[in-house]
Amino acid sequence: MRVGVCDFPSAYRFPPDGYGGIERWLWAVAHGAQRDGHEVHLLGPSWRPDLPAGFGRLPVRLEDLRPGDDGFRQLAQLDLDVLIVGHEYPSLPAWRSTWSALGCRVATFQHDPNFRHASGAFDDHQARLFCYSPEMVRRYGEQRPAQTLSVQFGLGEEAPPPASRGQDLVWLGRIDEQKAPHIAVEAARLLGRRIQLIGPVLDENYARQHQAALHAPHVELVGEVAGPDKLELLRRGQVMVYTCARDYVEAGAAVFGESLRSGTPVAALAWRPGTCAEVALCRTTGMVAEVPAGTAADAAAQHLAAAIAKAEQLDAEAVQLVGLTRFDAARHFRVLAHGHDG
Specify the CATH number for the domain of residue 76.
3.40.50.2000
Residue 159 lies in a domain: no
Same domain for 261 and 136, yes or no, is: no
Span 204-217, average pLDDT: 96
Residues 146 and 191 in one domain: no
Residue 227 CA to residue 246 CA, distance in Å, equals 30
Q: Is residue 302 part of a domain?
A: yes
Which run of H or of E encompasses 300?
helix 297-311
Whether residue 161 is contained in a domain is answered as: no
Asked if residue 72 and residue 136 are part of one domain, the reply reads: yes
CA distances from 115 to 87, 91, 108, 230, 317 (A): 9, 10, 13, 30, 38
Q: Are residues 143 and 192 in the same domain?
A: no
pLDDT at position 67 is: 87
Q: Is 80 exceeded by the pLDDT of residue 341?
A: no
Residue 238, in any domain of the structure: yes
Among 17-21, 94-98, 110-114, 322-326, the least confident range: 17-21
pLDDT confidence of 342, banded at 50, 70, 90? low
Residues 134 and 262 in one domain: no
When computed from its CA atoms, the radius of gyration of the chain, rounded to whole angstroms, is: 20
Residue 88 has pLDDT above 70, yes or no: yes
Average pLDDT, the chain: 95
What residues does 267 pair with on adjacent strands? 241, 287
Examine residue 292 and state whether it is found in any structural domain, yes or no: yes
Q: What percent of the chain lies above the pLDDT cut of 90?
A: 91
> What domain count does the chain have?
2
Q: Which domain holds residue 224?
A: 169-323
Same domain, 196 and 313: yes
Same domain, 29 and 79: yes
Residues 21 and 59 in one domain: yes
Identify the pLDDT of residue 314.
98
| Average pLDDT over every residue of 53-81 | 95
Same domain? For 126 and 175 the reply is no
Percent of the chain residues topping a pLDDT of 70: 100
pLDDT in tens, 250-266: 998 899 999 999 999 99
φ/ψ of 32, rounded to 5, equals: -65, -40
Q: Is 134 exposed, middle or buried (0-12, 13-18, 19+ CB in 10 A)?
A: middle
Question: Considering the domain boundaries, does residue 158 fall inside one?
Answer: no
Q: Is the pLDDT of residue 204 over 80?
A: yes
Confidence tier at 340 by pLDDT (50, 70, 90): confident
pLDDT band at 68 (very low <50, low <70, confident <90, very high): confident
* 120-166 pLDDT, tens digit each: 999 989 999 999 999 999 999 999 999 999 999 999 999 999 999 88
How far apart CA 152 and CA 135 sit, in angstroms, is 20
Q: Are residues 207 and 146 in the same domain?
A: no
pTM over 0.75: yes
9-33 average pLDDT score? 91
Residue 294 pLDDT > 90: no
pLDDT in tens, 28-55: 999 999 999 999 999 999 999 999 999 9
Residue 190 CB coordination number (10 Å): 16
Q: Are residues 51 and 88 in the same domain?
A: yes
* Least-confidence region, from 93-102, 185-194, 292-301: 292-301
